[in-house]
Structure 1
C-alpha cells in the first residue's frame, strides 16, 4: 500500500516467515538497501563482503521481493559533517526475483 508521501512499507521476512522489521522506500530496492546496511555479517571491502539473501514482503500485497545483499565498512568522506562517525556501513543489493505468498 502506498502512503500519502508515495513511500511503501516492506517487512523483512525471516526464514521461518516471521516479520520483525519494516523498512520504507519508494521502491523495493530502496528498502532493500536500508535492510542490507543492518546485516550482521559485514565485510572489510565490497569484494570481501559476505553475501546474504533478504526477503521483503510488500505490505498489503502477497509479493515477496528477494535480493542478494552485502554490506561493508568504509571510511567516511573527508568533508563529512561533525555528527558522522569515522567509519560507515555501505551496502549493495541485487534483485533475484519476486515470489508470491500462497493464500491461506
Structure 2
C-alpha cells in the first residue's frame, strides 16, 4: 500500500520465511539499500568478498523483490558534520528479480 508521501513498506524475509524488519522507500531499491547497510560490512570496498541475498516483500502485495547486497566501511566525507562518526557504512545492491508468493 502506498502512503500519502508516496513511500511503500517492504518487509525483510529471512531464509526460513520469517518476516523481520520493515524498510520504507518510494522504490524497492531504496528499501534494499537500507537493509544492506545492516549487513556485516567489509573493511573497504576492495575487500568485499561475499554478497548476501535480500528478499523484500512489499506489504499488501504478493511480490518479493530479490537483491544481492553488500556493505563496506569508509571514512566520512570532508563536508560531513562533526557529530558524525569518522567511519560510515556504505552499501550497494543488485536486483536479481521478482518472485510472487503462492496464495
Q: Distance in 2 between matches of 1:65 and 1:48?
A: 26
Whether 1:87 aligns to 2:51 is: no
Equivalent residue number for residue 12 of structure 1: 12
Equivalent residue number for residue 44 of structure 1: 43
Q: Distance in 2 between matches of 1:47 and 1:27?
A: 28
**Count, aligned residues:** 102
CA deviation profile, 1:23-76 (whole Å, cap 9, x unmatched): 00000000000000001x211222322211000000000000000000000000
Q: Which runs of 5+ in 1 are unaligned?
A: none
Q: Distance in 1 between matches of 2:45 and 2:97?
A: 22
Equivalent residue number for residue 58 of structure 1: 58
Matched residue SS, 1:69: strand
How far has the Cα of 1:83 moved from its partner?
A: 1.8
Structure 1 segments of 4 or more deviating over 3 A?
Answer: none
Using structure 2 for the length normalisation, give the TM-score.
0.95
